[in-house]
Amino acid sequence: MAIKKLLIANRGEIAVRIIRAARDLGIATVQVYSKADKDSLAVRLADEAIDIGPPQASKSYLNQAAILAAAQATGADAIHPGYGFLAENAEFAAAVEAAGLIFVGPTAQSIRLMGDKVAAREAAASAGVPTVPGSEGRLESEEAAFALVEKTGFPVMIKAAAGGGGRGIRIARSAEEFHHLMPQAQAEALAAFGDGGLYVERLIEGARHIEVQVLGDGRDVIHCFERECSLQRRRQKVWEEAPSPSLTQAVREKLCSSAVALAKAVNYRGAGTLEYLYDDRTGEFYFLEMNTRIQVEHPVTEMVTGIDLVREMIRVAGGEPLRIRQDEVRVGGHSIEVRINAEDPARNFLPNPGTVSALSVPGGDGVRFDSMLYQGYTVPPFYDSLLGKLIVHDKDRPSAIRRLERALAELSVEGIFTTKPLHQALARDADVKAGRFHTAWLEPWLESHAAALATAQPPSAVKVAP
């Protein structure tokens, strides 16, 4: 069944991205919005827009009944959830299909299986994909968890079985820390995801974070190679690139093949990402989890492969088979994405919503800016602080970094603080240029560069009260 009218159950830059992809396919779009987003760029661009409730996400973007009612009221025949909010909610995917609509993403069964990190680890092991040594199942009690840790030894990561975004995770380096942190992790997981289940795995220090992009149609699966996402703050990605500067070709082939094997094992449909830890000292990699949705950092894969991932997932959801064979997917050049957030890096990344008084967007060959911004737009305080993503592409990594520096210099968002100074400093850093970093590298770097970041904001940025 070809999709004729697509409802976007999201907001911000990803909503704009989906609207543009749908329009390229000749599909009409409906944008849902909360009262805080009535003046958003997505609302301006969509063919239709419909109010689904108050600013609070729980009463709008997470309100399944309101979203389904909006689809029925506007005659939409499909719903794209974007990322975040309801994107990885198996019950929502099932409700969409039960309402006779198309869910642009995997089946509820796949979301449910891969959304539970313990079940995903078990599926990975069955598919022959290596996982980080740790618990084989959910650990509902502190006693059972500690019994396992006594065998594996410290340090360990205590992780929520459900959810993501770095929540429900603690690192314990001793028995005393473990007993102190285990209840914290359980309480946070229960509050964030409604599920207090945990699992424990060995902490691999100094590891890289590598992820593999896959596309499937429920029968066949291909990979679109990997992304490096090791520059992280509080387990939130800051800078992403493709291909990874740390992989050998032999490891790349093994890693990508393992991702395809696991995605095929769960009959995956749509765009998805498999995340791994990679120890570049030993060449070993370990499966972490699967994100059953489009990723924030998908543009770097698009830039190096020439594949429009959002268009392909819409096509597949509409019943088309994959049109791309694995041997047709090739990597050309290097791409980097940095996240431009409404945050002040000099004040512990304090969110800084406000009105964009002036905007200058970079251009030129190999530069892309996916954003929700326009001059005069007021960034609301109710949601994630991501404003957009600056993506560059060039023939190799050094050239891409130079292009990123040029594009950052051209980018100007006046009226609010942004994370632009952070990315300018990272692009100049010798270790970043050499690819010498890992998942725990950025936070000590931020501490040592706090003074420099404090003087880097433009005078046009307006401070908010602490």
CATH number, domain of 180, equals: 3.30.1490.20
Q: Which of 269, 293, 315, 368 is catalytic?
A: 293
pLDDT of residue 378 exceeding 70: yes
Cβ atoms within 10 Å, residue 282: 9
Kindly state whether residue 465 falls inside one of the protein's structural domains: no
Same domain, 321 and 177: no
Mean of per-residue pLDDT scores for the chain: 93
pLDDT digits over 220-256, tens only? 999 999 999 999 999 899 999 999 999 999 999 999 9
Q: Is the dihedral of CA 252, 284, 428, 387 positive or negative?
A: positive
pLDDT of residue 275 exceeding 90: yes
Q: What are phi and psi of 280, to 5 degrees?
A: -75, -5
Overall average pLDDT of the 422-426 stretch: 97
Domain-ending residue, one of 181, 202, 223: 202
Overall average pLDDT of the 50-63 stretch: 97
Is 293 labeled as catalytic in the residue annotation?
yes
Pairing of strands 350-351, 236-242: unpaired
> What share of the chain in percent tops pLDDT 90?
80
Kindly state whether residue 124 falls inside one of the protein's structural domains: no
CATH number, domain of 35, equals: 3.40.50.20
Same domain, 92 and 162: no
Same domain, 195 and 213: no
pLDDT at res. 194: 79
pLDDT of residue 460 exceeding 70: no
CATH number, domain of 308, equals: 3.30.470.20
Nearest residue to 105 (alpha-carbon basis) of 84, 127, 137, 82: 82
Kindly state whether residue 313 falls inside one of the protein's structural domains: yes
pLDDT at res. 466: 38
Domain-ending residue, one of 145, 167, 202: 202
Instruction: Compute the C-alpha angle 44/50/51, nearest 5°.
Output: 105
pLDDT at res. 461: 53
Stronger pLDDT, 450 or 260, i.e. the higher one:
260
pLDDT digits over 92-109, tens only? 999 999 999 999 999 999
The answer to whether the CB of 222 falls within 8 A of the CB of 327 is: no
166: confidence class by pLDDT, cuts 50, 70, 90: low
Same domain, 257 and 326: yes
pLDDT at res. 230: 98
* Bridge partner residues of 150 (DSSP): none
**CA 288 to chain CA mean position, Å:** 14
pLDDT digits over 10-56, tens only? 999 999 999 999 999 999 999 999 999 999 999 999 999 999 999 99
pLDDT of residue 464 exceeding 50: no
Same domain, 212 and 198: no
Same domain, 51 and 186: no
Overall average pLDDT of the 442-453 stretch: 91
Kindly state whether residue 110 falls inside one of the protein's structural domains: no
pLDDT of residue 338 exceeding 80: yes
Cβ atoms within 10 Å, residue 429: 14
pLDDT at res. 463: 47
Domain-ending residue, one of 169, 202, 235: 202
Kindly state whether residue 161 falls inside one of the protein's structural domains: yes
Give the count of domains, the chain: 3
- Secondary structure string (H, E, C) spanning 258-297: HHHHHHHHCCCEEEEEEEEEEECCCCEEEEEEEECCCCCC
pLDDT digits over 108-153, tens only? 999 999 988 888 988 999 999 999 888 877 887 888 888 888 887 8
Same domain, 386 and 449: yes
pLDDT digits over 168-198, tens only? 789 999 999 999 998 888 888 888 777 878 8
Same domain, 291 and 152: no
Same domain, 84 and 191: no
DSSP secondary structure string, 12-64? HHHHHHHHHHHHHTT-EEEEEEEGGGTT-HHHHHSSEEEEEE-SSGGGTTT-H
The answer to whether the CB of 165 falls within 8 A of the CB of 236 is: yes
Kindly state whether residue 115 falls inside one of the protein's structural domains: no
Kindly state whether residue 116 falls inside one of the protein's structural domains: no
pLDDT at res. 198: 84
Kindly state whether residue 122 falls inside one of the protein's structural domains: no
pLDDT at res. 1: 64
Report CA-CA distances (Å) from 295 to 180, 193, 298, 407, 445.
Answer: 33, 19, 5, 23, 26
The answer to whether the CB of 87 falls within 8 A of the CB of 81 is: yes
165: confidence class by pLDDT, cuts 50, 70, 90: low
Same domain, 442 and 388: yes
Same domain, 224 and 185: no
Same domain, 247 and 320: yes
User: What is the residue range of 52's domain?
Assistant: 5-104
